[in-house]
């Protein structure tokens, strides 16, 4: 079944309002905005500064926070010395991530001593995990807010301004922020991120996400498609649909709420097709997939539409069935390999990446070799690789002993990294001489004389600018002429 979506017709006044609202969002980064319709300049009475750490969901959440604060009279600033309130949007997935945040809090503590009116807040997963302990341990933290409580931020700031410590870490079974239009902070104007669901029901024993982000809930399908459509109308050429486990997206609505355009129950495959149908010029990506949930329906939709990128992030974590069972990943080594084979059957050129953990509890050398051999089988284009870091409150911390010595973890991790570097280079070398449609994201980091973009398979490619009128956000055909293990090099055809 095919689902189409047409962006709703807008009156001239609505279109003017949308353009001006976009300008408000752009100018908000500098603490200045323009009133809708009149175009009169407005000055925000106060400014906020926000830093984001961890997964892309956190960066997406920061855009929601920015929208909420804009509506309450706060303008964003990129200079924290100008800010009245500083927020760190935090990650708890690994100990190192929390250590980074604690170090940054120490730096802001020094600034606060010279600027007594400055408020410092901790948002996100670390806030949810540590709750009031943050106020006790980091005594100059004023505000602690979990991922489901961002709507309460204006009130909490008011409390903190009155000298009270402000905390809201209540988790929700309903909150999706579906009605909030995110402010696109630090956007390149080409690629945008759209959150489609929140939380996670998978109780992987090593992971804190179910405890810091709560249970899964899917966002209203109409609001997702509308946001993607609005991004395209604003000039964006790519959207990434975000969720802790996008493949388990499932939205139902009452018959009385149906618009006539959407069915009463929408799966991820159906949502993916709806977004793809907005325009063939809008690229669609998604992240992250859980191997147990990605279906043939999703794969067939990917194969059907040229504008759905041929790339899947498919975390394996370990190549050992025994370790996978301890991790509660709900699949075996053989099952995962069959899933990779199925992806290759339906989408032969699909790029696949993974997450891998070295040195999980009780891991042996045989388990480690299973991981290496599964990497070889899957031929990952890239991987995110870590050694196991025990997280307080997780099932693994309560059930198992973290008994693999750190030097063994680091050695195994290095072997995984070395193998992935080899696989990445081999993957890039297979692309030599091939031609790809590339979406230009901006200048290369190393030279303004070169463009940087990505292929459908999520590979970065750098190529010299030509004399032709080509701009950021354009699609161009590029032939691969050389490569490193991380980057393709090419020339415009």
Is a pLDDT exceeding 70 seen at residue 284? yes
Which strands, in side-by-side order, build the sheet including 382-387?
A: 311-313, 351-358, 382-387
Rounded Cα distance, 348 and 342, in Å: 9
The domain at 187-309 falls in which architecture?
A: 2-Layer Sandwich (3.30)
Residue-wise pLDDT for 322-348, tens only, equals 999 999 999 999 999 999 999 999 999
Per-residue 3-state assignment (H helix, E strand, C coil) for 193-241:
EEECEECCCCCCCCCCHHHHHCCCEECCHHHHHHHHHHHHHCCCCEEEE
Lowest-confidence segment of 12-16, 155-159, 378-382 by average pLDDT: 12-16
Sign of torsion, CA 358 363 365 367?
Answer: negative
Each as own residue / partner, the long-range contacts of residues 449-453 (CB below 8 Å, 24 or more positions apart, any chain) are 451/476, 453/478
Q: Which two tokens stand for residue 60?
A: 């997406």
The domain at 315-430 falls in which architecture?
A: 2-Layer Sandwich (3.30)
> In this predicted structure, what is the pLDDT of residue 306?
97
Q: Is residue 312 within a helix (H) or strand (E), and if so which, with residue range?
A: strand 311-313
Residue-wise pLDDT for 302-314, tens only, equals 999 999 999 999 9
Residue-wise pLDDT for 185-198, tens only, equals 877 899 999 999 99
Asked if residues 232 and 251 have their Cβ atoms less than 8 Å apart, the reply is no
Adjacent-strand bridge partners of 475: 439
Rounded Cα distance, 451 and 35, in Å: 36
Quick one: what percent of the chain has pLDDT higher than 90? 69
In CATH, 435-492 is 2.40.50.140: yes
CB atoms within 10 A of CB 252: 11
Is a pLDDT exceeding 60 seen at residue 430? yes
Give the strand pairing for 435-443 and 382-387: unpaired
Per-residue pLDDT band at 158 (split at 50, 70, 90): very high
44-168 falls under which CATH superfamily? Methylthiotransferase, N-terminal domain (3.40.50.12160)
- The mean predicted confidence, pLDDT, of the chain is 88
> Residue 482: left (phi > 0), alpha (psi -120 to 50), or beta?
beta
Helices (H) and strands (E) in the chain, counts: 15, 23
Burial group, residue 474, by CB count within 10 angstroms (0-12, 13-18, 19+): middle
Asked if residues 336 and 375 have their Cβ atoms less than 8 Å apart, the reply is no
Where do the CATH 3.30.750.210 domains begin and end in the chain? 187-309
What is the reported pTM?
A: 0.85
Where do the CATH 3.40.50.12160 domains begin and end in the chain? 44-168
CB atoms within 10 A of CB 169: 18
Where do the CATH 2.40.50.140 domains begin and end in the chain? 435-492
């Amino acid at each position: 079944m095919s689902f189409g979506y047409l962006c709703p017709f807008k009156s001239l006044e609505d279109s003017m309002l949308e353009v001006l609202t976009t300008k408000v969002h752009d100018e908000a980064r500098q603490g200045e905005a323009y009133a809708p319709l009149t175009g009169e300049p407005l000055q925000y009475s106060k400014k906020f500064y926000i830093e984001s750490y961890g997964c892309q969901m956190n960066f997406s959440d920061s855009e929601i926070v920015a929208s909420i604060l804009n509506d309450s009279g706060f303008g964003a600033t990129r200079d924290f010395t100008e800010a009245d309130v500083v927020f760190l949007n935090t990650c708890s997935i690994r100990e190192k991530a929390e250590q980074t945040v604690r170090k940054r809090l120490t730096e802001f503590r020094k600034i606060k001593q010279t600027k007594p009116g400055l408020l410092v807040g901790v948002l996100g997963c670390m806030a949810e995990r540590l709750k009031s302990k943050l106020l006790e341990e980091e005594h100059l933290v004023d505000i602690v807010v979990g991922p489901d409580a961002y709507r309460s931020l204006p009130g909490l700031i008011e409390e903190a301004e009155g000298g009270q410590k402000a905390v809201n870490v209540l988790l929700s079974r309903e909150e999706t922020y579906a009605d909030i239009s995110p402010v696109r902070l630090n956007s390149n104007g080409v690629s945008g991120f759209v959150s489609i669901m929140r939380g996670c029901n998978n109780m992987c024993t090593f992971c804190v996400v179910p405890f810091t982000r709560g249970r899964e809930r899917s966002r209203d399908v109409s609001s997702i498609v509308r946001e993607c459509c609005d991004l395209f109308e604003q000039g964006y050429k790519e959207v990434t649909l975000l969720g802790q486990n996008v493949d388990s997206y499932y939205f139902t609505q009452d018959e009385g709420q149906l618009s006539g355009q959407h069915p009463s129950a929408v799966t991820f495959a159906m949502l993916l097709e709806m977004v793809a149908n907005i325009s063939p010029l809008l690229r669609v990506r998604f992240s992250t997939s859980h191997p147990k949930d990605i279906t043939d329906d999703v794969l067939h939709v990917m194969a059907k539409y040229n504008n759905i990128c041929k790339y899947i992030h498919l975390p394996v974590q370990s190549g050992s069935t025994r370790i996978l069972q301890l991790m509660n990943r709900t699949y075996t080594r053989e099952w995962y390999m069959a899933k990779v084979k199925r992806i290759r059957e339906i989408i032969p050129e699909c790029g696949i990446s993974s997450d891998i953990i070295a040195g999980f509890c009780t891991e042996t050398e045989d388990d480690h070799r299973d991981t290496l051999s599964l990497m070889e089988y899957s031929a990952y284009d890239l991987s995110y690789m870590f050694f196991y870091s025990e997280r307080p409150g997780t099932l693994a911390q309560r059930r198992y002993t973290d008994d693999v010595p750190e030097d063994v973890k680091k050695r195994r991790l290095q072997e995984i990294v070395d193998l992935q570097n080899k696989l990445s280079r081999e993957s890039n070398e297979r692309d030599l001489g091939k031609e790809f449609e590339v979406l230009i994201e901006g200048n290369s980091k190393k030279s303004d004389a070169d463009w940087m973009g990505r292929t459908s398979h999520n590979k970065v490619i750098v190529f010299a600018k030509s004399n032709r009128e080509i701009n950021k956000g354009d699609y161009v055909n590029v032939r691969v002429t050389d490569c490193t293990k991380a980057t393709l090099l090419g020339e415009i055809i």
